[in-house]
Amino acid sequence: MERTLILVKPDGVQRGLIGEIVGRFEQRGLKLVGMKFLQMSEELAGRHYAVHQGKPFYHGLVEYITSGPVVAMVWEGNHAVAAARATMGATKPVEAAPGTIRGDLGMEIGRNLVHGSDSPENGVKEVSLFFHENELVAWQRATDGWIIE
């Protein structure tokens, strides 16, 4: 089973879209194994966006992600990263397909509602930034046999 980190960013929280976004991943068939509502510190934001340090947009990213609360989630499933990214849609909402979170609900790249891990390896790294292993719940869904072959 693969895991991915999904963040509902401050714009998604402020717009009251937490439930809608969670629902999209549930409907997709991914399984929620961890969730937190938090105000991200600059230190955590810096570690999360470390790959972008030195780029012109880095400070704006940190300032934005720390501007309000976020919802951090861990979703699990076969090909969880690819499934989550397809559910979110393209990074630029105006280029995202209808039916995706960003395509249906977003307008601007700087307010694109959600973050998702971009590879299984980054999924492992990002999950560990936000969650200790004992904060993740291993559980069996009654519907797993209807979702996973």
Residue range 111-134, pLDDT digits in tens: 999 999 999 999 999 999 999 999
Report pLDDT for 112: 96
117 burial class (0-12, 13-18, 19+ CB within 10 angstroms)?
buried
* Candidates 52, 59, 79, 115; catalytic one: 115
**Would residue 147 count as lying in a domain?**
no
d(CA 55, CA 40): 20
**Would residue 57 count as lying in a domain?**
no
**Would residue 146 count as lying in a domain?**
no
Range of the domain at 133: 2-40+70-139
Q: What is the share, in percent, of the chain residues with pLDDT greater than 90?
A: 99
What pTM was estimated for this model as a whole?
Answer: 0.96
d(CA 20, CA 108): 18
Which CATH number goes with the domain that contains 118? 3.30.70.141
* Predicted confidence band of residue 73 (pLDDT cuts 50, 70, 90): very high
In the annotation, is 59 catalytic?
Answer: no
**Would residue 128 count as lying in a domain?**
yes
Report pLDDT for 54: 94
**Would residue 50 count as lying in a domain?**
no
Give me the number of domains the chain comprises: 1
**Would residue 116 count as lying in a domain?**
yes
Report pLDDT for 91: 96
Report pLDDT for 82: 98
**Would residue 47 count as lying in a domain?**
no
**Would residue 96 count as lying in a domain?**
yes
Give mean pLDDT, residues 102-112. 96
Mean pLDDT of the chain: 97
Give mean pLDDT, residues 82-108. 98
